[in-house]
Amino acid sequence: MTLSLDLETLRKEALAECAAQFERIDTICLHNTAKVLAAYKEAQISSYQFAGTSGYGYSDMGREKLDEVFARVFKAEKAIVRPHFVSGTHALATVLLALLQTGDLMMSLVGAPYDTMQGVIGYAHETPHSLKEKGVRYEEVPLKDNAYDLAGIEAAVAEKQPKLVLIQRSRGYSTRASLTIDDIRSIISVVKKVSPKTICFVDNCYGEFAAEEEPIEAGADIIAGSLIKNPGGGIAPTGGYIAGKEELVHAAADYLTAPGLGDELGSYAAGYRLFFQGFFMAPHVTAQAIKGAVFAAAVFEKMGFKVSPAVQNPRVDLIQ
């Protein structure tokens, strides 16, 4: 393709096209910043909690307060936020391995999860120590016309009564649309209607602070994600989080550390300032990243490329 465009004109035209989306993103950013500020005020965060600890880390005030502010912002009964999580997949795997036992059925409701999660499940090929090797059964509800199939979800869950359902909020590497909070609310409502005891687990990676609500407010029992993405604000050096119902988060904490120890220990000598600072900045940094994706979509669309999401589509995660 031969490109003959005045780049400054292209930039101005693209920015003009983005204006309505930018205004919407700014409104969400301000709402979420207010949530974080309120959580820090209610938790009485001070520089005292920024210091690191060594050894076992019992009564580590920084770790405990970091858990508290995440729980407050995500409207969860409990949260664990740890530098010990090496990725979002690690946090997700911790939840699945903690909550699912031999013979339990796990069901993915929006088609196949992305590749690293397939390794955790033992989906595409044999993986040592996977859920499949542990004896956990796995099924998925396929997409219909490249979107989630609410009727198919209701029928499958009603028939199979799975122990846990996985709802991947972001499109990840697939071409389907990412899920809005209303989409998640609709899916969970259907699941709970036909199988009230089923645990609704949302993979929240790439979606934090992209909307005014988070999945727990839409009915999710537990969520997990990576601090290397949105909630780290580009500042947290590593880590991940799990948040949700207290008994479920406790179970995940026992799997991360050891049964009976759970979230009561775990030191971090480097200190917690970057985690608190990153979470403080996360609504703004996420908003700027989403604006960058909208602008990129506008530019590439004007250059003749097909883009998804389109410029006029409200964004629900970082993925372009």
What would the two tokens of residue 251 be? 């179970």
Predicted TM-score of the model (pTM): 0.95
Query: At residue 22, what is the residue type?
Result: F
Determine the topology of domain 51-271 in CATH. Answer: Aspartate Aminotransferase; domain 2 (3.40.640)
Q: How far apart are CA 92 and CA 136, in angstroms?
A: 15
How far is residue 145's CA from residue 259's CA, in Å, rounded to a whole number? Answer: 44
> Looking at residue 307, what DSSP letter applies?
-
| pLDDT computed for residue 310 by the predictor | 95
* Cα radius of gyration rounded to whole Å, the chain: 20
Torsion of CA 78, 84, 90, 95, to 10 degrees: -30
C-alpha 224/C-alpha 206 separation (Å) is 11
Ramachandran bin of 44, using left for φ above 0, alpha for ψ from -120 to 50, beta for the remaining angles: left
209-254 tens-digit pLDDT: 999 999 999 999 999 999 999 999 999 999 999 999 999 999 999 9
Q: What is the pLDDT of residue 5?
A: 64
Orientation angle between helical segments 181-194 and 150-160, nearest 10 degrees: 30
- Residues making up the chain, counted from first to last: 320
Domain ranges of the chain: 51-271
With contact defined as beta carbons under 8 Å apart, do 76 and 215 qualify? no
What is the reported pLDDT for 4?
A: 55
pLDDT of amino acid 1:
47
Name the stretches of the chain with pLDDT < 50: 1
What tokens does 37 get? 């500020």
**Exposed, middle or buried: residue 100 (CB in 10 Å: 0-12, 13-18, 19+)?**
buried
pLDDT digits (tens, 9 = 90+) for 32-50: 999 999 999 999 999 999 9
